[in-house]
Structure 1
Amino acid sequence: MLDDTLLADPRALAALDTGGVLRSAATAGAQVRSAAQGAAEADVASLAGHRPRALVLLRRPGASATAAGVLTALLGPAAPVPVVVTDSTPSWIGPLDVVVAHTAEATDAELADSVLLAVRRGAEVVLSAPADGPVASAGAGRARLVEPRIPVPPGLDLPRALAVGLATLRALGLLDAPLDPAMDVLADALDAEAERNQPGHEPFMNPAKSLALRLADHTPLLWGTDRLAAAVAAHGATALATHAGVVANSGDVTDGAGATALVRALDRGASGADIFRDPFADPDGLTETPPVRLVLLATGEDDPGQVTLRRTGRGWPSADVLHPVDEVARGTRHAALLRAALLASRLDVASVYLGLATRTIEPA
């Protein structure tokens, strides 16, 4: 059960958070800066002028799946080279291809095999991984290795994965408007989000706490109104499972609109209590499933309600909408990317708050 009084008590939160998970979640901006510096030292920029036959994004457990989704959405269907997202290096890999991989698990044997195959075939490999272990050893001397410099608990390393991927896309010239090499604008946006979400702020002033309270005792439905937001929604579902033990549905809003049972549950929730429910059949409500809570995520310029109406033919007035145009104003350069990173960070911190308030996060 949620102890909502904890979220208004910074000292109680600090006493529970003996592992420093909240502090780690606030390092997103620092992770971006350190990864950008690491990519520069690993000479990722030397890929400039190389137009690969294919860009291969290896999707491993953890943050790499979200990073791959965000990078693919940024490139879009008009990407100048084929983009392949796969769990392991394809058999056709060769010297004309570029492979990007990220992991927080130094002993991922399947990834180690993938890296070894890619370097043996002569592919260019950008590897974001710990320096010790089979994964780094597989690419020793041949992969551009970007080591983590800021240790974080499992599930909080997305900023590093994303920064290394963005550095690679910049070097390859695949983005129309790449970030500057230091990625200061992205890091600054994440620092500002961390400030908004700090434990000392009351829930009504803290967007992550507010979101945690809205999702508590519900089944979250995280639906993106654009491709980039859908990738972030998938990350949010993973964050909730990792830090709060909450099972969430995530995806694109058009896919969600086709899930008829969920849509019926949303409509029932919007209309109020079920008048046909027999309280004597289950007086304690122990067999009831948690009510659903729809959260629409958006990173584009258009109003997400209008986008949802256009894409699905209907709207959900009761939905929570996460469209950070106040934090990243319309017309801002790199707005969609900044909003996506900001929302991913907010979902991370909200999941940590929820995990602490429900005692799901165990003491260190």
Structure 2
Amino acid sequence: MLDDTLLADPRALAALDTAGILRSAATAGAQVRSAAQGADEAGIGDLTGHRPRAVVLLHRPGASATATGVLAALLGPAAPVPIVVADATPSWIGPLDVVVAHTAEPTDAELADSVVLAVRRGAEVVLSAPAEGPVASAGAGRARLVEPRIPVPPGLDLPRALAVGLATFRALGLLDAPLDPGMDAIADALDAEAERNQPGHEPFMNPAKSLALRLADHTPLLWGTDRLAAAVAHHGASALATHAGVVARAGEVTEEATATALVRALDRGATGADIFRDPFADPDGATEAPPVRLVLLATGEDDPGQVTLRRAGRGWPSADVQHPVDEVARGTRHAALLRAVLLASRLDVAAVYLGLATRTIEPA
């Protein structure tokens, strides 16, 4: 059960968060800056002017899964070269290709095998991984290795994964607008989000606490109104599972709207609970599944309600909408990317708050 009083008590939160997970979640901006510096030192900028036959994004467990989804969605079908997302290095890999991989697990044997194959075939390999272990050894001297400089708990390394991937895209000239080498715009947006979500802010001033309270005791449905937001939604589901033990469903609104039973559950929930129901007279109600809570995530310029209506044929006025246009104004360069990383960070922190308030996160 959620203890909502905890979210209004910074000292109680600090006492529970003995592992410093909230503090680690607030390092997203610092992770981006350190990864950008590490990418520069690893020589990723030397790829400038190289036009690959294909860019392969290796999809591994953890933050890598979100990073590959976000990076692929960021370019979309208009990418100037094929973007391939794969669990392992394809058999056709060759010297004209670029392979990008991220892991927080230095002993990922399958990834190590993929790196060995890629470097053996002469492909350019960009690797974000710890310096020790089989993965780093597989690319020793041949892969451009970016090591983590800010240690974080499992599941909070997405900023580093994205920064290394974006540095590669920047060097290859795949982005439609220049991205500063230090990625200061992304880091600044994440620092501002960390400030909004700090424990000392009351829930009504703290978007992550507010979201945690809204999701508590519900089954979250995280639906992206665009492809990039859908990738962030999948990250949110992973964060809720990792930090709060909450099972959530994530996807793109067009596909999710075809889940007819879920749509009926949403419509029933929108009518409100029966105020005359006595839980003591109706004990069977305690065994019912938690009610669903729809959260619409959006990274584009258009109003999410209008996008949902256009793409799904209907809307859900009762949905919570996460469309940070106040934080990232319309017309801002790389606005969709900035909103995506901001939402991913907000979902991370909300999941941590929910995990702490339900005692799911165990003391260190």
State TM-score, norm by structure 1: 0.98
- Hey, what does 1:356 align to over in structure 2? 356
Within 2, Cα distance between the matches of 1:51 and 1:149? 30
Matched residue type, 2:229: A
- Hey, what does 1:28 align to over in structure 2? 28
Within 1, Cα distance between the matches of 2:77 and 2:309? 23
Q: 1:261 to 1:281 in 2, by over 3 A?
A: farther
Within 1, Cα distance between the matches of 2:277 and 2:114? 54
1:222-274 per-position Cα deviation (integer Å, ceiling 9, x unaligned): 00001110000000000000000000000000111101010000000001236
Within 1, Cα distance between the matches of 2:183 and 2:273? 49
- Hey, what does 1:163 align to over in structure 2? 163
1:316-340 per-position Cα deviation (integer Å, ceiling 9, x unaligned): 0000000000000111111100000
SS of 1:285's partner is helix
1:28-53 per-position Cα deviation (integer Å, ceiling 9, x unaligned): 00000000000000000001111111
Tell whether 2:332 aligns with 1:332. yes
SS of 1:77's partner is helix
Matched residue type, 2:73: A
Within 2, Cα distance between the matches of 1:237 and 1:280? 33
Within 1, Cα distance between the matches of 2:144 and 2:279? 63
Within 1, Cα distance between the matches of 2:249 and 2:281? 28
- Could you tell me whether the CA contact under 8 Å between 2:126 and 2:143 is conserved in 1? yes
- Hey, what does 2:228 align to over in structure 1? 228
- Could you tell me whether the CA contact under 8 Å between 1:63 and 1:103 is conserved in 2? yes
The 5 A counterparts of 1:206-355 are 206-273=206-273, 282-283=282-283, 285-355=285-355
Identical residues among aligned pairs (%): 90
Within 2, Cα distance between the matches of 1:15 and 1:140? 42
State TM-score, norm by structure 2: 0.98
Once the two structures are TM-superposed, the CA of residue 312 in structure 1 deviates from its matched residue by 0.8
- Could you tell me whether the CA contact under 8 Å between 2:170 and 2:178 is conserved in 1? yes
Within 2, Cα distance between the matches of 1:335 and 1:183? 13
Within 2, Cα distance between the matches of 1:280 and 1:23? 41
Within 2, Cα distance between the matches of 1:313 and 1:334? 29
Within 2, Cα distance between the matches of 1:251 and 1:258? 11
Matched residue type, 1:203: P
- Hey, what does 1:55 align to over in structure 2? 55
- Could you tell me whether the CA contact under 8 Å between 2:209 and 2:353 is conserved in 1? yes
Q: 1:205 to 1:278 in 2, by over 3 A?
A: closer
Matched residue type, 1:172: L
Within 2, Cα distance between the matches of 1:52 and 1:62? 27
- Hey, what does 2:111 align to over in structure 1? 111
* Total equivalences in the alignment: 364
SS of 2:78's partner is coil
Within 1, Cα distance between the matches of 2:102 and 2:282? 48
Structure 1 regions of 5+ residues with no counterpart?
none
Matched residue type, 1:312: A
Matched residue type, 1:163: A
The 5 A counterparts of 1:40-79 are 40-79=40-79
- Could you tell me whether the CA contact under 8 Å between 2:279 and 2:286 is conserved in 1? no
CA RMSD between the two structures: 1.4
- Could you tell me whether the CA contact under 8 Å between 1:268 and 1:274 is conserved in 2? no
Matched residue type, 1:101: A
